[in-house]
């Protein structure tokens, strides 16, 4: 199965698993003492919807897709040094957290699927970081 399709199907399985986004934020907030303060005034109900939408865009669209680029431009703008000032190194922790969460919620998880997730997300992360 093509990596693009494998990640898409994994994302769908994770979406069917209760608490996926709650698990993600539990893992991510525990990755570094620098992270919780970034979310001090966050409405997590809305934040989880934003995460779902952003990851969905990254999973379902190729990076050269105009819709994906438009959506990721908005994320890049809000996360840039002019916005929330999210440093590039924090995206590695974000990606590690996402993969740990997928491992917990996708019954078909394998090390190969993890690498496919990492490759897929790296395209979007690199796009965002390049606009920091």
Give the domains, in start order, of the chain with CATH numbers. 3-129 (1.10.490.10)
Give the pLDDT of residue 34. 96
Predicted structure pTM score: 0.93
Rounded to 10 deg, the angle between the 44-60 and 3-16 helix axes is: 160
What is the full per-residue pLDDT of the chain (132 aa) written as tens digits? 699 899 999 999 999 999 999 999 999 999 999 999 999 999 999 999 999 999 999 999 888 888 888 999 999 999 999 989 999 999 999 999 999 999 999 999 999 999 999 999 999 999 999 999
Give the pLDDT of residue 1. 64
Q: Which of 4, 2, 19, 12 is nearest to 108 (CA)?
A: 12
């Amino acid at each position: 199965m093509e990596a693009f399709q494998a990640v898409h199907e994994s994302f769908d399985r994770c979406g069917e698993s209760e608490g996926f986004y709650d698990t993600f934020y539990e893992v991510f907030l525990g990755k570094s003492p620098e992270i919780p303060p970034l979310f001090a005034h966050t409405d997590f109900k809305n934040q989880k919807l934003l995460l779902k939408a952003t990851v969905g865009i990254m999973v379902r669209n190729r990076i050269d897709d105009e819709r994906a680029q438009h959506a990721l431009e908005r994320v890049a703008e809000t996360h840039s040094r002019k916005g929330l000032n999210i440093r590039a190194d924090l995206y590695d922790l974000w990606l590690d957290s996402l993969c740990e969460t997928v491992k917990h919620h996708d019954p078909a998880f394998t090390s190969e699927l993890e690498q496919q997730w990492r490759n897929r997300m790296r395209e979007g992360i690199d796009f965002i970081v390049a606009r920091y």
